[in-house]
Amino acid sequence: MTKKINADLLKQFENVGQAEVSVEQNETIESMRVVFTTYPKNYFTQLDFVKHLNKSNPFINHQLHKLLAENFIKRVGTKRKYYYIKA
């Protein structure tokens, strides 16, 4: 790898990892808790949170699994589509 290519490659990674991930996760999961608490009888899809919180699908999936593990929410539905509701 030449020095020019190496410098260009390193420049692309300059700001990667700058954000505090744990803060973002905490804010997102707390926002999700508020939604579930405010609307305890409503069913939400993962895509609802992806769209409205402007987060990636894998990120929201991870947060939903945390809430499921805490028994804060429950998952209902079919193998094709799942819905989440306050437990």
Average pLDDT over residues 67-73: 98
pLDDT at res. 45: 96
* CB 46 within 8 Å of CB 64: yes
Rounded to 5°, the CA angle 22-28-60 comes to 100
Tokens of 82: 């799942």
| pLDDT single digits (tens) 13-62 | 777 666 665 667 789 999 999 999 999 999 999 999 999 999 999 999 99
The structure tokens listed for 68 are 């499921």
Domains, the chain, ordered by start = 39-87 (1.10.10.10)
Query: Residue 7, exposed/middle/buried by CB under 10 A (0-12, 13-18, 19+)?
Result: exposed
Q: How far is CA 23 from the centre of its chain?
A: 12
Cβ–Cβ under 8 Å, residues 72 and 86: yes
